[in-house]
């Protein structure tokens, strides 16, 4: 199994952070400091490199330092002894991406070099939020499992927009349907297979946690079970024309999550939701590593306060043996002292090694 980690990280003009240069350990890295010191901004910068977007803000203007025009983030990645330099300049209206000094036009070509997952206080929305949150979670997993998925998903969205425009204008929507159905069926197959594989990993993790209720995942395709996508679109045609948009297909898919046979979003306690999100995150990491040989950088924001002591210790032990690199934040130094391989102090946007 190959190794993978962020070796160096450079951050400029991200929120309140001062210019930051970090040497990171390949295992567990901790960042401690009071709220507002800039700990989460470090994780946010890594997430920008690995996902192309922030897990905290919807627009670039929210994380670009107010007195700067652009944020710059770069990293040296080591995979199996080979170094790779990644760089991003994110301005309010444009983005510049480079890999080994060569400009990349497509975000998917850039972010595939850095698999990243984040667990943070808003991650509860994976359980309690809209189906779109869960579709993105599945698609992130499939993207790092199958290099062709991003292109097909983008193609599906373009075809969907074209069919929807035809429906609104009263023109011939069938012109787009052959390609839409072909691409949609591919996306549906990939998602369905991935969720089945993810369930296997969830089962393994559930057995390792004493007293953990059974977690079951059910993928709903976005069209009636037992029908092909072509049949579902044909049956929905009149409604589509009435509403001016396509009512069935992978863009309407959902991942249903059940805890002890009950819908998790309506019955799970806050603590159970935190644990459930952690299990799904670890299951994704297990699947990437063992089936697809992808190693990730994992971002845990304010981890000690998000989990009880038992689950915190389980997660730390699991991470230490997983082969994945982790960046973990906490308010109290004692929460991570002796737990991580490398510890940093963050104070008023300045980062120093402890």
Nearest to 154 by CA among 123, 187, 129, 125: 187
CA distance 273 to 295: 25
- How far, in Å, CA of 113 to CA of 87, rounded? 11
Separation between Cα atoms, residue 255 and residue 39, nearest integer Å: 32
Q: What local confidence, expressed as pLDDT, does residue 309 receive?
A: 87
In tens digits, what is the pLDDT along the chain, a chain of 354 residues? 457 899 999 999 999 999 999 999 999 999 999 999 999 999 999 999 999 999 999 899 999 999 999 999 999 999 888 899 999 999 999 999 999 999 999 999 999 999 999 999 899 999 999 999 999 999 999 999 998 899 999 999 999 999 999 999 999 999 999 999 999 999 999 999 999 999 999 999 999 987 889 999 999 999 999 999 999 999 999 999 999 999 999 999 999 999 999 999 999 999 899 999 999 999 999 999 999 999 999 999 998 888 888 889 999 999 999 999 999 999 999 999 999 999 999 999 999 998
**Alpha-carbon span 277 to 162, nearest angstrom:** 36
Does domain 124-292 fall into CATH 1.10.10.10?
no
Q: What is the dihedral of CA 48, 50, 55, 60, to 10 degrees?
A: 20
Coil, strand or helix at 223: coil
Could you give the CA distance from residue 167 to residue 241 in angstroms, rounded to a whole number? 5
pTM of this structure: 0.94
Spatial distance between the Cα atoms of 242 and 105, rounded to a whole number of angstroms: 38
**CA atoms of 91 and 48, how far apart (whole Å):** 12
- State residue 255's pLDDT score: 97
Give residue 2's pLDDT: 58
The fold for domain 1-115+295-354 equals Rossmann fold (3.40.50)
CA distances (Å), origin 268, targets 138, 201, 257, 263, 273: 21, 21, 11, 8, 6
Cα torsion for 337, 341, 347, 348, to the nearest 10°? Answer: -140
Instruction: List the chain domain ranges.
Output: 1-115+295-354, 124-292
Q: In what order do the strands lie in the sheet with 82-91?
A: 20-23, 4-12, 70-79, 82-91, 95-99, 102-104
Q: What is the pLDDT of residue 307?
A: 83
Helix (H, G, I), strand (E, B) or coil at 69: coil
Give the Cα separation of 226 and 270 in Å (integer). 36
């Amino acid at each position: 199994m190959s190794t993978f980690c962020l070796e160096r990280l450079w951050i400029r003009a991200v929120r309140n952070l001062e210019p930051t240069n970090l040497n990171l350990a390949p295992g567990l890295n901790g960042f401690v400091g009071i709220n507002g010191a800039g700990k989460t901004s470090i994780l946010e910068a890594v997430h920008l490199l690995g996902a192309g977007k922030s897990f905290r803000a919807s627009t670039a203007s929210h994380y670009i330092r107010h007195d700067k025009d652009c944020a710059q983030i770069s990293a040296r990645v080591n995979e199996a002894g080979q170094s790779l330099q990644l760089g991003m300049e994110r301005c309010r209206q444009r983005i510049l991406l480079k890999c080994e000094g060569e400009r990349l036009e497509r975000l998917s070509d850039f972010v595939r070099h850095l698999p990243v997952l984040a667990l943070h206080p808003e991650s509860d929305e994976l359980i309690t939020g809209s189906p779109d949150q869960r579709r993105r979670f599945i698609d992130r997993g499939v993207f790092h499992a199958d290099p062709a998925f991003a292109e097909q998903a983008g193609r599906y969205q373009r075809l969907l927009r074209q069919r929807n425009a035809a429906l609104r204008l009263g023109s011939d929507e069938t012109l787009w349907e052959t390609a839409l159905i072909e691409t949609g069926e591919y996306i549906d197959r990939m998602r369905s297979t991935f969720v089945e594989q993810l369930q296997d990993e969830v089962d393994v993790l559930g057995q390792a946690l004493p007293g953990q209720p059974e977690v079951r995942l059910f993928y709903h395709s976005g069209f009636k079970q037992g029908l092909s996508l072509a049949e579902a679109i044909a049956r929905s045609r009149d409604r589509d024309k009435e509403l001016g948009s396509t009512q069935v297909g992978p863009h309407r898919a959902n991942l249903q999550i059940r805890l002890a046979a009950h819908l998790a979003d309506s019955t799970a306690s806050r603590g159970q939701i935190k644990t459930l999100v952690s299990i799904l995150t670890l299951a994704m990491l297990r699947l990437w590593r063992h089936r697809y040989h992808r190693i990730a950088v994992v971002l845990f924001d304010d981890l000690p306060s998000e989990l009880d002591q038992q689950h915190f210790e389980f997660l730390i032990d699991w991470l230490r043996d997983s082969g994945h690199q982790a960046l973990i934040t906490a308010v109290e130094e004692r929460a991570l002292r002796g737990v991580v391989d490398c510890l940093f102090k963050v104070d008023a946007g300045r980062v120093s090694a402890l």
